Amino acid sequence: MAGDGAVDPQVVRERASLRAALKREYQKQIHNPHRHGSAEGGFLFDPAVQRFMSMRATQAEFFKPTSRASLLGLAIFAPIVAYGWWMKTAREDFENKCRTGQVSYASREFKFC
């Protein structure tokens, strides 16, 4: 159990030897002079990095339509329509005021619209 305080030295030694073997293998691969000298560049293949990138690249394929996903879609679309409507009504009010003479041409900020 984690946080027990009591460790089994046998297990610790085993894990350390596995880790050391992996490190030795990594050092052997990364310091290969023929690979460095071939000027092809690249990096030592890391399956964890590959898994992460593949996960991000294929995120769309694992999409499941749930109610939460639909709410997210609404949360994106509704503010767009609401913001646009707000701008539309404000603009139409202003244009109405201009047309009926309540705002004079000289006092407009942006002329020659």
Partner 1 sequence: MLKFIFMNILLIAFVKEWWFIQISLFLMCFIFSCFMGHDFSVSGLGLSLGSDHLGFILIMLSMWIMALVICASQSIKKTNNSPSGFLVVNLLLLLALLLTFSATDYLLFYISFESSLIPTLILILGWGYQPERIQAGVYMLFYTLFASLPLLVSLLSFYSLGGSLTMGLVPCAESSNFITFMWYFCTIFAFVVKLPMYLVHLWLPKAHVEAPVAGSMILAGVLLKLGGYGLIRVLFLFPEVNKMFSWFWVSVSILGGVIVSFMCLRQVDIKSLIAYSSVAHMGLVLSGLVVFGWWGQTGAVVIMVGHGLCSSGLFCLANMVYERLGSRSLLVNKGLLNFMPSLGLWWFLLSIGNMAAPPTINLLGEISLILSVVSWSKLSMFGIGLLSFFSAAYTLYMYSMSQHGLFFNSLFSCCSGKVSEYLVLMLHWLPLNVLIVKTAMILPSF
List of residues contacting partner 1 (CB under 8 A): 30, 35-37, 39-44, 46, 49, 52-53, 56-57, 76-77, 79-81, 83-88, 90-91, 109-110, 113
State the DSSP H helix or E strand holding residue 92, giving kind and residue range, or none if neither: helix 67-99
3-state SS assignment for residue 76: helix
98 HSE (CA, 13 A, CB side): 15
Give the C-alpha separation, 23 to 30, whole Å: 10
Closest distance of CB 16 from partner 1, Å: 21
Question: Which of 17, 54 has the CB closer to partner 1?
Answer: 54
Question: Which of 12, 53 has the CB closer to partner 1?
Answer: 53
Closest distance of CB 36 from partner 1, Å: 4
> In 3D, which of 82, 112, 86 has the Cα closest to residue 98?
112
Closest distance of CB 53 from partner 1, Å: 5
